[in-house]
Amino acid sequence: MSDTLLKVDDLNVTYPTRTGFTHAVRNASFTLGRERLGVVGESGSGKSTMGRALLGLLPRSARVTAKTLAYEGTDLLNLGERDWQHMRGRRMSMVMQDPKYSLNPVKTVGQQVSETCRLQLKSDGKDAKRRALAMLEAVQIRDPDLVYGFYPHQLSGGMGQRVMIAMMLVAEPDLLIADEPTSALDVTVQNEVLRILDDLVRERGMGLIMISHNLTMVSSFCDRVLIMYAGRIVEECRAADLHNARHPYTRALVAATPSLDARREELATVVRDPEWLK
Amino acid sequence: MIAIDGLDVTFHVKNREIRAVQGVSFEVAAGESFGIVGESGSGKSTVLKAIAGLVPSISRRLEVDGQEAAARRSRADRRKLQFVFQDPYASLHPRKTVDDILREPLEIHRESDIDARVGRALSDVGLLPIHRYRFPHQLSGGQRQRVAIARALILAPPILLLDEPTSALDVSVQAEILNLLKRLRASYSLTSILVSHDLAVVAHLCDRIAIMQFGKLIEIVTAEQLRDGDVGADYTRKLLAASRGFTRVA
């Protein structure tokens, strides 16, 4: 199957703590093709940890085990740091959540975006600048020449988020993991950013993993959704069917979300069942 | 209960003048729950702060509880309005226990029977006696926001101002806090103003909703009108479409 980008079978991530182990991701299995896959769950459900594990970005203390963790046939479990350098950037990449913390505060936008071109595409300085400017324009930054020389503190949240997306996309990865790429953005800007990602999936056949807690956004944007609870994938369904989900946790999440369509006196609260952990 | 006419708030940053709120007018009746929505920088939180007297403002009229609000508020003025802020991690003093936090407003306003009232306030917001002597870092985000709500309500104010009270919380916790706010609003017969960027949250909690953009009030609609898409301004329509999720442009 050449269309499968990523194959994950029985992925587990544990962290040592003073009293034993914290099981952050439990027995996660899924495959990803050239599609938009959503991963939803509440804080602490392990969704970001899983995203980072796929890119080998977890701290040294984390223990990652799996039966299979393969990207286009390459086993990711036993990659050395040098091999990871070849994987990250051109083949798979990640957009982090918060531009305030994820951009280098003492480097200009231009330096950071063109650095990717120089390292990943082996561009010379001139070519890197040209590509960086074109990419900034592609993510709808109105005045790329001006923003190129800006430092991160001069950017608004929405612009920072777009700069990070530009930084990752300029290397043209085949798989992009986006961790809450729009949670800091206003709804109208959010949809612009989603449109950029959508174009890339359609035009370039990129695979996209969208990590988010926003059910409305994921169900309207993605093709398929994984729902995570306490480190476990409790349900997988088509995004459009999220509102008819089967698992009680998914149903509870949907019912707890205030909606513009249905008027409810009282929102349903999530009653957690220990059975879900088994 | 609250009447605002021609409210202006201007900030001076270096040599620039930022007109955060420009000519905003609305009235909120007693017992009503009013909502303000808008995107970042629309001035929605600043309106709330101006009502509470937390930022200097200019207006033709700014009435709270039937009285013109003075530029400098007296203690009695302040007691009428209580505020719940967005970030429960930042709005509670990290080195004070829940007990200290809830005691403080009562002590400032020289109330009596403080011990019993702190206990009642805790049970009102669904916290247990074991939470009383904990520090904020020993509580979850939802519990902290409950403490912030208890602190606001402990003086039994007629007016509650809520600035994005659930935007830092997970949906399941948000649902609990929204239900709590609805219940308390009824039992305390509160007049409230809720500011949020989330249209669904505002439509859930409020009767009438003001839409703001670039410091100006675009229009005021009822929750039903918002739900039905029966709105006048293009901007409101755009905001509504965006809130319903992603749509592909053909």
**pLDDT per residue as tens digits for the range A50-106:** 999 999 999 989 999 999 999 998 999 988 888 998 889 889 999 988 788 889 999
User: A131 is in which domain, residue-wise?
Assistant: 101-172
Within an 8 Å CB–CB cutoff, is residue B5 touching chain A?
A: no
Residue A37 belongs to a domain: yes
pLDDT at B30 exceeding the cut of 90? yes
Within an 8 Å CB–CB cutoff, is residue B227 touching chain A?
A: yes
In this prediction, residue B211 carries a pLDDT of 95
Confidence of residue B158 (pLDDT cuts 50, 70, 90): very high
**pLDDT per residue as tens digits for the range B210-249:** 999 999 999 999 999 999 989 999 999 999 988 888 887 6
Q: Which of A211, A3, A1, A195 is nearest to A96 (CA)?
A: A211
**Facing A188 at nearest CB: one of B182, B227, B242:** B242
In this prediction, residue A42 carries a pLDDT of 87
A172, A207, A230 - which closes a domain: A172
The arithmetic mean of pLDDT across residues B143-170, rounded, is 92
In this prediction, residue A2 carries a pLDDT of 53
Do A83 and A183 share a domain, yes or no?
yes
**Facing A258 at nearest CB: one of B201, B240, B244:** B201
Chain B residues close to A201, C-beta within 8 Å = none
In this prediction, residue A1 carries a pLDDT of 41
Do A25 and A84 share a domain, yes or no?
yes
Residues pairing with B194 in the sheet: B35, B162
Low-confidence ranges of chain A (pLDDT < 50): 1
State the CB neighbour count (10 A cutoff) for residue A3: 11
E strands in chain A: 6-17, 20-32, 36-40, 63-65, 68-71, 74-75, 92-95, 175-179, 207-212, 224-229, 232-238
**Facing B172 at nearest CB: one of A216, A253, A266:** A253
Residue B37 · residue B73 · CB < 8 Å: no
> In Å, how far is A257's CA from the nearest CA of chain B?
6
Do A68 and A11 share a domain, yes or no?
yes
Do A248 and A262 share a domain, yes or no?
yes
Within an 8 Å CB–CB cutoff, is residue A178 touching chain B?
A: no
Within an 8 Å CB–CB cutoff, is residue B233 touching chain A?
A: no
Query: Domains plus CATH for chain B?
Result: 2-41+56-243 (3.40.50.300)
pTM: 0.86
Residue A33 belongs to a domain: yes
> In Å, how far is A191's CA from the nearest CA of chain B?
6
Q: Residue B246 and residue A252: Cβ atoms within 8 Å?
A: no
> In Å, how far is B57's CA from the nearest CA of chain A?
26
The arithmetic mean of pLDDT across residues B2-17, rounded, is 90
Q: Residue A253 and residue B171: Cβ atoms within 8 Å?
A: yes
How far is B60 from B39, CA to CA, in rounded Å? 26
Residue A13 belongs to a domain: yes
**Facing B179 at nearest CB: one of A190, A217, A267:** A267
Overall number of domains in chain A: 2
Q: What distance lies between CA B162 and its chain's CA centroid?
A: 1
**Facing A221 at nearest CB: one of B39, B238, B246:** B246
Residue B220 · residue B209 · CB < 8 Å: yes
Amino acid at A211: I
The arithmetic mean of pLDDT across residues B191-198, rounded, is 93
Q: What distance lies between CA B111 and its chain's CA centroid?
A: 24
Do A79 and A203 share a domain, yes or no?
yes
State the ipTM, two decimals: 0.82
Chain A residues close to B247, C-beta within 8 Å = 191, 220
Do A218 and A82 share a domain, yes or no?
yes
Report the chain A residue with the minimal C-alpha distance to residue B249.
A195
